[in-house]
Amino acid sequence: MIKVKVPATSANLGPGFDTLGLALNLYNTFSFKEIPKGLEIEGCDNYYANEKNLVYTSMLKTFNKIGYETKGIRIEMDTDIPISRGLGSSAACILGGVMGANELAKASLSKDEILEIATEIEGHPDNIAPALFGGLVVSVMEDKNIYYNKIDIASEIKFVALIPDFTLSTTKSREVLPSTFNNKDAIYNIGRVSLLLSALSNGRFDLLKISLRDKVHQPYRKKLIPKVDEILNKCYELGSLGVYLSGAGPTIMAIVKKDDMNFTKRIKDYLNSINYNWNVKELDLDLSGAI
């Protein structure tokens, strides 16, 4: 049996729309075994336990790429990454399937080849790259080629994910975005993402509040999340260094000092007081990526 463990990811980080992503220590684990025939899936909702399962379809596409045929597959899942919450659940499933297929077929695909196949399935690498390599990764595509770079982050911070009990599909969250942006907003985001990368690398956490601001996607996606501005303001009031929408949302990600022992409890108490069901998770950067 082959076992693949894939971390959650948080993409965009405010101004880094479709280019930035980081891996967090929340995981989906997939176990794979070849069987005489058919498909067996355990550990997920019955709605997903069929031939349309994203892990399974990703395996089949990988088998097709490498020219491998299998009679049957058994997949066991242990999934802690919530679905459609902006924490890279789709990327984790895709990467799990690609890596599982590679191991079962003994194909010896390189990480770059795995990245290419998984990105082809996902459509963009902003979640795939950090899930595969760990840490903070910048990734872009040009002429169907993927270019990426892993960036070290100063270690004095942790991440607090505010995960609501409702979902928000990436498709829906993209539908609210404008098709074009003006020159002023483009320059605004270029400056903020540049400042963000330097602040995270050098430990200038006093710059995070300014550098996480964005005019490309967050102003539009925030409208899909009830009371989001109140929650963002409360995070800052309680001592957060920076706050942003994780991926397409609806998860809100707060960055706090690692030695801050009060923020998580206080933001939980606040969210309970406004009668919203939010799961609050304190997370650290995953530096290893999928294994």
- Binding-site residues for ATP sit at 82-92
Nearest C-alpha neighbor of 197 from the set 160, 247, 149: 149
Query: Tokens 């597959």, residue?
Result: 73
Provide the pairing of β-strand 20-34 with 2-11: antiparallel
The dihedral through the CA atoms of 102, 124, 14, 267 has a sign that is negative
The dihedral through the CA atoms of 83, 84, 87, 89 has a sign that is positive
Own/partner long-range contacts of 277-282 (Cβ < 8 Å, ≥24 apart): 277/164, 277/165, 278/162, 278/163, 278/164, 278/165, 279/82, 279/162, 279/163, 279/164, 279/165, 280/160, 280/161, 280/162, 280/163, 281/26, 281/160, 281/161, 281/163, 282/158, 282/159, 282/160
**Distance, CA of 65 to CA of 208 (rounded, Å):** 42
Q: Coil, helix or strand for 22?
A: strand
Return the half-sphere exposure (C-beta side, CA atoms, 13 A cut-off) of residue 106.
Answer: 2
**Distance, CA of 153 to CA of 136 (rounded, Å):** 7
Binding site: which residues?
82-92
Nearest C-alpha neighbor of 79 from the set 28, 24, 10, 150: 28
Structure tokens given for 115: 């990245």
